[in-house]
Structure formats: structure tokens, C-alpha cells
């Protein structure tokens, strides 16, 4: 099932974007055709069958102590050399390239926000779970709330949830499920994967990043919410205020991918130098607090004038 989306209007404010790159970007997230579709569908079928309330709670307990391995950020990035994301219909190369692509895409859009570049580098590091024996359906792919009925924009929703036991439950199969209206996403149990793991690991280790960074890490794969506007019944005012930051992250994420494998300066001296400054070395990495480089203002104040119209359009209207 594919939901059509209008071309990204922010392309007009990127004069250095090559036309061919913009064209390639528009073809991303094609879940109806392509050489990788069978692999992608099989991953989502397993995910949508076995991601349940009970499964997610067990994973929180299993990994909540963060005692499996100690490593630096750059060691984790290097580990992703051995991972190809089986849920991704667009790429068939190691995830480490994607980490640098994303950081570079955000750096081009926001050159003055080092903390934002860092989020681009960190966002998928939770995928190391797949290299520690976890199945990819429990690590990668789009996320969604468990404990309530999946909404229309969830990838392959109409043909992959038939065997999920939660949807036979009279409570979990309703629109609100086990939640109260507008309870806030912080109180929602998300499907288990690299986003939730990385978010919880950063909180456990007290990463000194702004709240926007934690929000982006946790919800960057929640496409039904930040791209298609579903699950509004669960959102509170904080969620709606943070939404433009998640959407702006996805802008840099997709544009970094459009520049292609190995493109941009982040894979060279810039990437490795800043990676170690942000947490590399024997005493840093995942176990270190990372300094906050600046106070974060609302997104529509942060952007250059040419981009403010897009950001303001993303801000929710009062209900």
C-alpha cells in the first residue's frame, strides 16, 4: 500500500541540489515495486506478526540494563559496515554509509548546529542489535504504536497484520487501544527496534543533548506520524511542538541519501574529526555525556528566512 506524497517544497531553497539528485530523492520509499521488494515485504510481515505489547515489554526488560557491550560512537559506526537494512527498499549497501550521509545532509542544511549533525550520525546506531543476534524485524523498519489498531499509513498494513495476536484482543484492536486520548507519545509503547533502543541508551547514559535530539532519535522511523499525520489521537501539545524538528531531520536524512553513497565531506576528515570530538576515544562514546553546543529555539526561529515558510506550515494549528 503506497500513500502518494507531494514533492518536497523545501527543494526550492536548496539551489545547490543537483536536479538528478532531487529526482532520485522523489523515488525513495517505493513499497510497490523494485528489486528489493520481496526482501522488504518479508521483513515487515515478520515485524507486523510478532511486534506485540508483550514482546515490546520483554525487550525493554532484556536490554534495559545496557550491560552487553561498551564501545565508542565511532566503533559502533564501524560495526554498521557489516549491516544492510533488509527493510529499506532504496539501498543495498552497509548502514555505516547512511550514517555519514545523514550527518552530511543535515550539515548542509544547518551548518551552525553541531548537535543536529551529531543526531544524524547517531540516529541508526541502535541497529548494532542486528549484529548481536537480534532478528532484523525487531531492529529495523518503520515504527508504530503497539497496543492499538495500526492506522492506514503503516507500511503494508492491509496484508501483514493478520496473524498478530494483539489484533484479536478487543482492547488492543481499537483506535485508542490501551491509551487515553492525547496521552502523549512519551506514554505510548512503540514497536521495538533501533530507535527505541538508542533513545533509551542515550537517556541511560545521560547524553547531554537537547530534548529535540532525544525526540528525533526515538521517532525518526515513525513515518505514519511525522510524514502522514496519523496517530494524532495520541499526541499532546509537546508532541506537536516537536513534530517540526522530526520533519526537518527527515529533510536532511532524505537529502543526504539523495547525494549518494560516499558523497560529501563527512566521510573524510570532517566526519572522523567531529566523531571523536563528540564521543570517540577510550573514555568517550556511548558511555560519555556529550556537551550541548547551544540552546535550541523553536524551529521556525532557527531556520533561514527562505526556509521559515516551510517550518511554519508544519506547525500544528490550534485544535
Binding residues for Fe cation: 98, 123-124, 194, 220
N- to C-terminal Cα distance for the chain? 30
The rounded distance, in Å, linking the Cα atoms of 264 and 105 is 8
Give the residue numbers of the binding site for substrate.
Answer: 29, 85-87, 127, 141-142, 220-221
Q: Are 14 and 251 in contact (CB under 8 A)?
A: no
Give the residue numbers of the binding site.
Answer: 29, 85-87, 98, 123-124, 127, 141-142, 194, 220-221
The three three-digit cell numbers of residue 125, written as one number: 546506531
The three three-digit cell numbers of residue 315, written as one number: 506547525
Please report which residue ranges of the chain form alpha helices under DSSP H: 19-26, 37-50, 53-63, 73-79, 95-109, 114-122, 157-160, 194-204, 211-219, 223-226, 237-258, 269-279, 299-302, 305-314
Strand, helix or coil for residue 292: coil
Kindly give the interhelix angle for 237-258 and 114-122, rounded to the nearest 10 degrees.
80
Amino acid at each position: 500500500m503506497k500513500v502518494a506524497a507531494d514533492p518536497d517544497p523545501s527543494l526550492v531553497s536548496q539551489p545547490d541540489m543537483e536536479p538528478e539528485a532531487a529526482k532520485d530523492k522523489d523515488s525513495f520509499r517505493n513499497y510497490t515495486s523494485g528489486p528489493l521488494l520481496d526482501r522488504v515485504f518479508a521483513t515487515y510481515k515478520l515485524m507486523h506478526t510478532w511486534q506485540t505489547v508483550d514482546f515490546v515489554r520483554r525487550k525493554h526488560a532484556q536490554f534495559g540494563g545496557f550491560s552487553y557491550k561498551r564501545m565508542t560512537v565511532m566503533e559502533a559506526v564501524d560495526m554498521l559496515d557489516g549491516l544492510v537494512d533488509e527493510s529499506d527498499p532504496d539501498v543495498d549497501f552497509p548502514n555505516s554509509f547512511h550514517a555519514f550521509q545523514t550527518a552530511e545532509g543535515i550539515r548542509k542544511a544547518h551548518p551552525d548546529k553541531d548537535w543536529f549533525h551529531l543526531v544524524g550520525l547517531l540516529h541508526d546506531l541502535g541497529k548494532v542489535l542486528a549484529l548481536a543476534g537480534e532478528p532484523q524485524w525487531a531492529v529495523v523498519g518503520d515504527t508504530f504504536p503497539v497496543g492499538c489498531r495500526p492506522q492506514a499509513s503503516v507500511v503494508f498494513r492491509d496484508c501483514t497484520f493478520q496473524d498478530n495476536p494483539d489484533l484479536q484482543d478487543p482492547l488492543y484492536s481499537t483506535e485508542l487501544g490501551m491509551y487515553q486520548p492525547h496521552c502523549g507519545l512519551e506514554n505510548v509503547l512503540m514497536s521495538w527496534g533501533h530507535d527505541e533502543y538508542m533513545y533509551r541508551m542515550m537517556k541511560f547514559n545521560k547524553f547531554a543533548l537537547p530534548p529535540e535530539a532525544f525526540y528525533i532519535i526515538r521517532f525518526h522511523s515513525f513515518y505514519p506520524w511525522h510524514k502522514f499525520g496519523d496517530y494524532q489521537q495520541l499526541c499532546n501539545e509537546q508532541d506537536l511542538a516537536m513534530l517540526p524538528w522530526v520533519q526537518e531531520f527527515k529533510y536532511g536524512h532524505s537529502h543526504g541519501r539523495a547525494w549518494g553513497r560516499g558523497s560529501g565531506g563527512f566521510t573524510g576528515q570532517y566526519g572522523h574529526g567531529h566523531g571523536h570530538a563528540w564521543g570517540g576515544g577510550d573514555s568517550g562514546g556511548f558511555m560519555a555525556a556529550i556537551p550541548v553546543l547551544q540552546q535550541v529555539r523553536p524551529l521556525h526561529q532557527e531556520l533561514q528566512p527562505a526556509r521559515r515558510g516551510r517550518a511554519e506550515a508544519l506547525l500544528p494549528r490550534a485544535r
